[in-house]
A and B are shown apart, each in its own frame.
Chain A
Amino acid sequence: MQVGLNHFLVISTALFSLGIFGIVTRRNAVMVLMGIELILNSANINFIAFARFGNFGLQGQVMALFVIILAAAEAAIALAIVLNIYKTFSTVNVDEIDTLKD
């Protein structure tokens, strides 16, 4: 079977699902961040695959570039937040940070 659009879409769906799985199951906040990075990568694969097979020229690749830039900004901010959480609670396990819970 010739490798086509569907192959790349299956890859990105699998990456997205694994990212969701990581976000939902891992307790460490840094692991949650890694799940988010997986999801952003899967979105990028979709953008570039549709740009390649849908005759959109380079527009999809520019969008993927913007997603990468946003991912870099997001990682920096999120790690600053995680460091503050660690300073306040002495843990980064997201299920133990439940001060707002009744």
Chain B
Amino acid sequence: MNIYDIIFYLFAAITILSAFFVVTTRNIVYSAYYLLFTFFGVAGIYVLLGADFIAIVQLIVYVGGILILLLFGVMLTNKITNVEIRSGSIQIVPAAVGVALFAGIVMASMLNTKWKNIETAMPSATTQGIGLLLIQQYAVVFELLGILLLVALIGAASMARK
């Protein structure tokens, strides 16, 4: 077991445990904070997969943007008198059974598949390659995503201000 494996299991444990707490903790604010650890763990897994640029984007966009947005959503939709913002769960048992069944089926079929496993050499910095792909092969998609973000921003602002 080398250092790579140890770091992988560490990040995997952080990700899965905090994701479990996200969906089971009754206090929504705590859920949002556990989501922070999930995003950090996923960013670590991206680094282990050689995707350094995506890991940084994950930290900036998810932790710096989406998580703050979610926290504002929690705060704006609750009558806050203290930090105890509780929200119940429903249908826990059937959902747990169904989800466990689903995960079991997916994992069984996944582990029994012979993946064509070509392990390429650990890539070096990916930023230049991603930038070139974004302005060459995916230029149209990139521009469309820019328009989509603008439309989403205007739509969200006008909807929330009404």
Contacts and interface: CB of A to CB of B under 8 A. Distances in A.
Specify the main secondary structure of chain A where it touches its partner: helix
Interface residues of B, number: 79
A18 B74 CA distance: 20
Interface of B: 4-5, 8, 12, 15-16, 19-20, 22-23, 28, 31-32, 35, 38-39, 42, 45-46, 49-51, 53-54, 57-58, 61-62, 65-66, 69-70, 72-74, 76-77, 87-92, 95-96, 98-100, 102-103, 106-107, 110-111, 115-120, 123, 126, 129-130, 133-134, 138, 141, 145, 148-149, 152-153, 155-157, 159-160, 162
A15 B61 contact: no
Contact of B12 (A7, A19, A86): A7
A2 B5 contact: yes
Contacts of B129: 57-58
B23 A22 contact: yes
A52 B120 contact: yes
18 contacts: A3-B5, A3-B8, A7-B8, A9-B110, A14-B103, A17-B99, A19-B23, A21-B23, A21-B99, A27-B90, A38-B23, A41-B62, A45-B42, A48-B46, A53-B120, A54-B116, A54-B117, A62-B138
B156 A76 contact: yes
Contact-residue bracket for chain A: 35 or more
Interface in A15-33: 15-22, 24-31, 33
A18 B23 contact: yes
Interface of A: 2-11, 13-22, 24-31, 33-35, 37-38, 41, 44-45, 48-49, 51-55, 57-59, 61-62, 64-66, 68-77, 79-84, 86, 92-93, 95
Given A16-B106, A61-B54, A75-B66, 6 more contacts: A2-B5, A27-B87, A33-B70, A37-B35, A37-B62, A53-B118
